[in-house]
Structure 1
Amino acid sequence: MTEARHRKWHVFQTKDELSVAMAKYTAHLSAKFCKEKGLFTVVLSGGGLIDWLCKLLEPPYKDSIEWSKWHVFWVDERVCAYEDPDSNYKLAMDGFLSKVGIPNEHIYAIDKHYAADGNAEHCAALYEECLRNLVKQDIIPLCPNGKYPQFDLQLLGMGPDGHMASLFPGHPQINVKDKWVTYITDSPKLPPRRITFTLPVINSASYNLMAVCDDHTEQCPRSIADIFKHNNLALPAAHLTAHVETMWYLDKAAASLL
Structure 2
Amino acid sequence: MTAPARVVVVHPDAATLATATAARLLLRLVDAQSTHRPLHVALTGGTVGIRTLAEVAASPLRHAVDWTGVHLWWGDERFLPAGDADRNETQARAALLDALPVPASNVHPVPAADAAATPEEAAAAYADELARFAAPAADAVDDAGPAVPAFDVVLLGMGPDGHVASLFPGHEALDVVDRTVVGVHGSPKPPPLRVSLTFPALEAADEVWVVAAGAEKADAVARALGGDEVSSTPAVGAVARTRTLWLLDAAAAG
Q: State the TM-score, normalizing by the size of structure 1.
A: 0.89
Distance in 2 of aligned mates of 1:115 and 1:227: 36
What is residue 200 of structure 1 aligned with on the other side? 200
Higher mean C-alpha deviation, range 72-81 or range 59-68: 59-68
**Which residue number corresponds to residue 32 of structure 2?**
33
Structure 1 residue 230, shift from structure 2 partner? 4.5
Q: Equivalent residue for 1:90?
A: 90
Partner of 2:226 in structure 1?
229
Shift of 1:232: 4.0
Whole-angstrom distance in 1 between the partners of 2:95 and 2:19? 16
3-state SS of paired residue (1:205): coil
Aligned residue runs from structure 1 range 85-124, under 5 A: 85-112=85-112, 114-115=113-114, 118-124=117-123
Name the CA distance, whole Å, in 2 between partners of 1:93 and 1:10: 28
Mapped partners of 1:47, 1:237: distance in 2: 15
Give me the whole-angstrom Cα distance separating, in 2, the residues matched to 1:160 and 1:116: 31
Q: Is the 8 A contact 2:23 2:59 kept in 1?
A: no
CA distance in 2, matches of 1:131, 1:222: 34
Partner residue in 2 for 1:7? 6
Distance (Å, rounded) in 1 between the aligned partners of 2:75 and 2:114: 15
Give the deviation of 1:59 after TM superposition: 3.8
Deviations 1:155-214 (A, max 9, x none): 110000000001000101011000011111211111111111110111110011110011
CA contact (8 A) 2:111 2:122 kept: yes
Q: Show the 5 A alignment for 1:34-53.
A: 34-48=33-47, 49-53=49-53
Deviations 1:51-110 (A, max 9, x none): 123222234313212111110000111111122122111011111111111111100012
Greater Cα offset, 165-174 or 60-69: 60-69
Residue of structure 2 equivalent to 1:131: 130
Deviations 1:230-254 (A, max 9, x none): 5343210011211110000111111
**8 Å contact from structure 1 (residues 80, 118) kept in 2:** no
Cα offset, 1:13, TM superposition: 0.6
Task: Report the Cα offset of residue 16 of structure 1.
Answer: 2.0
Which secondary structure does the structure 2 equivalent of 1:110 belong to? Answer: coil
Percent identical pairs in the alignment equals: 29
Check conservation: 1:125, 1:181, Cα contact below 8 A: yes
> Cα gap change, 1:241/1:145 in structure 2, threshold over 3 Å: closer, same or farther?
farther
Amino acid at match of 2:26: A
Query: How many residues get paired?
Result: 245
- Please give the alpha-carbon distance, in whole angstroms, between the structure 2 residues aligned to 1:132 and 1:116: 19
Once residues 132 and 221 of structure 2 are traced to their aligned partners in structure 1, the CA distance between those partners, rounded to angstroms, is: 37
SS in 1 for 2:126: helix
Task: Kindly indicate whether the alpha-carbon contact (under 8 Å) linking 1:80 and 1:116 is maintained by their aligned counterparts in 2.
Answer: no
Q: Which moved more, 1:85-94 or 1:231-240?
A: 231-240
Q: Secondary structure at the match of 2:133?
A: helix
Match of 1:65 in 2: 65
Root-mean-square deviation (CA, aligned residues, Å) is 1.8
SS in 1 for 2:90: helix
SS of structure 1 residue aligned to 2:35: helix
Q: 1:251 aligns with which of 233, 236, 249?
A: 249
Deviation at 1:132, TM superposition (A): 1.1
Equivalent residue for 1:185? 185
Q: What secondary structure does 2:24 align onto?
A: helix
TM-aligned CA distance change 1:117 to 1:242, over 3 Å: closer
Q: Which amino acid aligns with 2:242?
A: V
Larger mean CA deviation between 235-244 and 14-23 belongs to 14-23
Structure 2: gaps of 5 or more residues: none
Tell me the TM-score normalised to structure 2 length: 0.90
User: Aligned letter for 1:151?
Assistant: F
Q: Distance in 2 between matches of 1:13 and 1:118?
A: 44
